[in-house]
Structure 1
């Protein structure tokens, strides 16, 4: 295991800059997730750490070593991709042990490491099967096992769950979380799915157009977003943001241009009361919860999370009361203002 430090890292493709001066310290044993919309540079940044993309400017430190110019094979990192990239003609045992065989390790040592990885990943009963006989989740565990046997400095995951269906994604999130607890290894994980980021990460790095918008724990990003981009990217459904003048408030910090409120922090009250007035347009029933989507005049569309047993119907007019201390305020540049 080792820490990984990025110092003023940039990536240029000709005249186009895609990574714009990223500074980041990842501690030894930490689980850090890069998250952001498509095209924000998260996979490029991961590939730069891996050595699969050249670093145009800046430094990448692995521990105390400057690894900026090192080839991937010298960095001691293991990467798990979206595609499992397994050898179809080989058994699970041979797929997992292949990196060690290529390195010329003795068969007894390879067998021991494969058995150890299989035990961690619950693959013991599948070692003699071929990839075509496995589910998507099992194939991804084999790909992870192939990385584990190398005993890497850190694990790099590039959207490893994107090819799985919803049920398998939940299962594999659990498996990866348990793997981190067991191995206590440094892990860097890329995803566009903020639910994966919130449930897995020690810290989340939110990227926007090649820059870091905010770094923090999932709770810090959820409760104290630094700007509008993070506020609306983290959380599902996304935070409601309305022009400040459309909200009935006695007092607010100076310089406020827009007000944010999360759907779960809004209570439905009688029409005429609350901070906003709205008419129910659509109800999205999800069992335990229902999402109300309301038209709120000049404030626009607002989403409210309520109990699944609500008796409201489209056309009902209600008041919306934001819970105490749950407003988020932003200035004209989209930066958060403390209340």
Structure 2
């Protein structure tokens, strides 16, 4: 049985529709991530699942129970927000145990659950500190611990790492991945950072203007995007897109208007090149260098090469596509095979 099901879910703010008929099943124990550009509706959809936003139309089922009209307190879900929302005057122990104390559990049971959460999140050494004495990553772990003790049906994360610096984001991605392995709990996570989505998710839900553009594993979305939007949203750098009319020597499916090719699927060489160009800029990243090539009417294409390349701006190059890794898109932006 799915852990959570959305059936034709809609959200209206007055005359403005922000969620436009979303259907989705999330299996028990699955880690699902909502991604999309700002304003696509990903946080609104998460808040509807949590019960923090009213569902205008459609159904939200938790297990086999219709929870559409239930208040947040009845849904059995735990939400971790972008802001840590910790009580500054309380110790870590009291912050983590606060939901249980509010529910009237016996002190011995509260201590047992809080100690277990502290063990899982490696907070044992910080239990007597106050939030002001913790780093950003430690505060986020306390916020997660407060959710764990409730033993929820599912965890909901709303951009939980966006307030952290780059190094802490990497550390907390690892912590959250390990937490999912340890708890085997259903997790629904919102982020604008596709690296978080690609590294953490079992499945990714890509949203565009309140609709699902595609659902799939990170690999499925990367290797088989359903449309131009997904092709260019998933992947960093994004997929190169160029008009099919400016590509030489490719056998294309009927209806192909645009050709997509990822930077790592292009090699440089003059013989048999599908497109010619001139090196515009180089972005050195250590092991890799991204070479931006100006291909005239075909546009500027990015090529991933070895970090120690001797190319320089102004060099004439030919771009050879891996023909088994090209993508065709029709005039509506949909993938063609």
For Structure 1 versus Structure 2, the TM-score category normalised by the shorter chain is over 0.9
Secondary structure, counterpart of 2:70 in structure 1 = coil
Secondary structure, counterpart of 1:140 in structure 2 = helix
Task: Report if aligned partners of 1:80, 1:147 keep a CA contact under 8 Å in 2.
Answer: yes
Q: Residue 319 of structure 1 corresponds to which residue in structure 2?
A: 318
Q: Residue 276 of structure 1 corresponds to which residue in structure 2?
A: 275
Q: Residue 306 of structure 2 corresponds to which residue in structure 1?
A: 307
CA shift digits 1:234-292 (9 cap, x unpaired): 0000000000000112421010000000011110113x641111100100101000010
CA shift digits 1:86-135 (9 cap, x unpaired): 01111000000000000111111101100000000000000011111111
Task: Report if aligned partners of 1:2, 1:186 keep a CA contact under 8 Å in 2.
Answer: no
Q: What stretches of structure 2 of length at least 5 have no aligned partner?
A: none
What is the TM-score normalised by the length of structure 1? 0.98
Task: Report if aligned partners of 1:259, 1:329 keep a CA contact under 8 Å in 2.
Answer: yes
Distance 2:156 2:97 in 1: 19
Task: Report if aligned partners of 1:2, 1:153 keep a CA contact under 8 Å in 2.
Answer: no
Q: Residue 171 of structure 1 corresponds to which residue in structure 2?
A: 171
Q: State which drifts further: 205-214 or 317-326.
A: 317-326
Task: Report if aligned partners of 1:244, 1:258 keep a CA contact under 8 Å in 2.
Answer: yes
Instruction: Please give the root-mean-square deviation of Cα atoms over the aligned residues, in Å.
Output: 0.9
Shift of 1:324: 3.1
Secondary structure, counterpart of 1:3 in structure 2 = strand
After superposition, residues 151-300 of structure 1 pair within 5 angstroms as: 151-270=151-270, 273-300=272-299
Matched residues, number: 337
Task: Report if aligned partners of 2:250, 2:274 keep a CA contact under 8 Å in 1.
Answer: no
Q: What stretches of structure 1 of length at least 5 have no aligned partner?
A: none
Distance 1:41 1:50 in 2: 14
After superposition, residues 30-179 of structure 1 pair within 5 angstroms as: 30-179=30-179
Task: Report if aligned partners of 1:77, 1:155 keep a CA contact under 8 Å in 2.
Answer: yes
CA shift digits 1:45-97 (9 cap, x unpaired): 00000000000000000000000000000000000000000011110000000
Secondary structure, counterpart of 1:229 in structure 2 = helix
Distance 2:228 2:250 in 1: 23
Distance 1:35 1:127 in 2: 34
Distance 1:223 1:148 in 2: 35
Distance 2:144 2:114 in 1: 12
Give the 4+ runs in structure 1 shifted more than 4 A: none
Task: Report if aligned partners of 2:9, 2:22 keep a CA contact under 8 Å in 1.
Answer: yes
Distance 2:250 2:51 in 1: 55
